[in-house]
Structure 1
């Protein structure tokens, strides 16, 4: 059992239907928060909402595409209305792109950037506007924005060049937003996972196999073999760090992009 450090608070998590997003949403609920679940896929978020209800917290679901600014603002509005406020914004939604830099197409980059970078930017904008509208700072509440970067936001990985660039960009947005909005009672941080055993990594591994001739599972095993703690990461590992960033113990931390990867990239 986790401590109920977020009782009375409302969180919104994008990309909440599966993987890391689902893990984060469930952990924040276990910490006591009511949670708005946002995903472009309608399938999945209703079952996560049911799990949150079993924990004893409220949940609402919103189908939205984070690359669409209007949809992000609408999702934040709905969450705040339905759950009575907003304190924590987790910009988790993202996609991967595996391929040599020389073969990346304009269409691939446009989609990647629209979700991984623009989606975070729109989430920051919508959350800041809502925090101010609600008067969180005047009520003595520290508002939190938490963004999904990656170990690829600290190191540029071969065959993941464009993806790495998108995650470096998230770190830049995180730092700039932290500087701009500290005076508004808002902290902005990011989490940087490593090799997480999710559907995204299954797809990354398959793509590496196609490009390099490696057997399926070989690339995944190679990356996991480089982790100091000796195992792949789980969504719960990531969620534990996000829980810290969302909670009261992190109120003096802002503009940081913390590595949570079991010991793979060191900074």
Structure 2
């Protein structure tokens, strides 16, 4: 039997893909969302879930999280196609590495549009739907957002990204207070360096800024600042989200939980 319905944004690759597959393994029916240019990736994730987890319902929902109508329709379509909404994972995010004095207003606004407005809209429309659903089917529901360790301590060359992830933490705390009375928990995950295509792209830009000779030497410098001495994988974050989405996490809300191999301590 299904544990409920989980909707994940930015599900076409990286951490979002890993979260989607893990929640399907946990027993959730899955709404996969990403921008239209990632449609083929979403369809591949959907095929993997259907072939691996027989009986799981999956739907592909194309949406730009910076567009309010897209997010509203995404949530409505997930409920219509899958029969409800129990877990909202606002995972979609982007980053740009640049000195403050070289960060353009275009980059700043694009980062905030995806990382902050997108999370806000996902939280808002998921909360509206969950409150309504709880009127007839009371159950613990989960809203989960993507923060970062850069949202707990600013990083050089990532002023816009860090600021956006600090904003997600504040939003998560405020919304947790508002939604607790409805039995809805609101938390965020705060990853460190997770090996994804986005990290590889950022690292190439960071090499020029830090003076590292190549990608390997850049990553070696990062590893020296980690207690465990190795990089994380998307599945590591998916495991944390799996717990936050579970019934066992019912007494945790308003938190941004670090998963970084011991780079920084709260």
Q: CA RMSD in A?
A: 1.2
Equivalent residue number for residue 182 of structure 1:
180
Equivalent residue number for residue 195 of structure 1:
193
Equivalent residue number for residue 160 of structure 2:
162
Q: Deviations over 1:110-161 (max 9, x none)?
A: 1000000000000000101111222x25523111000000010111011111
Cα separation, 2, equivalents of 1:252 and 1:73:
28
Structure 1 portions without partners, runs of 5+: none
Residue from 13, 17, 35 that aligns with 1:18: 13
Q: Deviations over 1:170-215 (max 9, x none)?
A: 0000000001111111110000011111001101111112333423
Residue from 44, 49, 52 that aligns with 2:46: 49
Equivalent residue number for residue 127 of structure 1:
126
Report how far residue 221 of structure 1 moved: 2.7
Equivalent residue number for residue 67 of structure 1:
66
Report how far residue 62 of structure 1 moved: 1.0
Whether the 8 Å CA contact 1:192–1:257 is kept in 2: the answer is: yes
Cα separation, 2, equivalents of 1:147 and 1:82:
23
**3-state secondary structure, aligned to 2:78:** helix
Equivalent residue number for residue 247 of structure 2:
248
Cα separation, 2, equivalents of 1:236 and 1:18:
12
**Given the two structures, how large is their TM-score scaled by the length of structure 2?**
0.95
Whether the 8 Å CA contact 1:150–1:192 is kept in 2: the answer is: yes
Equivalent residue number for residue 23 of structure 2:
28
Report how far residue 93 of structure 1 moved: 0.3
Equivalent residue number for residue 237 of structure 1:
236
Cα separation, 2, equivalents of 1:105 and 1:237:
33
For these two proteins, the number of residue pairs brought into alignment is: 261
Report how far residue 58 of structure 1 moved: 1.3
Report how far residue 230 of structure 1 moved: 2.0
Structure 2 portions without partners, runs of 5+: none
Equivalent residue number for residue 219 of structure 1:
218
**3-state secondary structure, aligned to 1:90:** strand
Cα separation, 2, equivalents of 1:137 and 1:76:
18
Instruction: Flag as ranges the 4+ runs of structure 1 deviating above 6 A.
Output: none
**Given the two structures, how large is their TM-score scaled by the length of structure 1?**
0.95
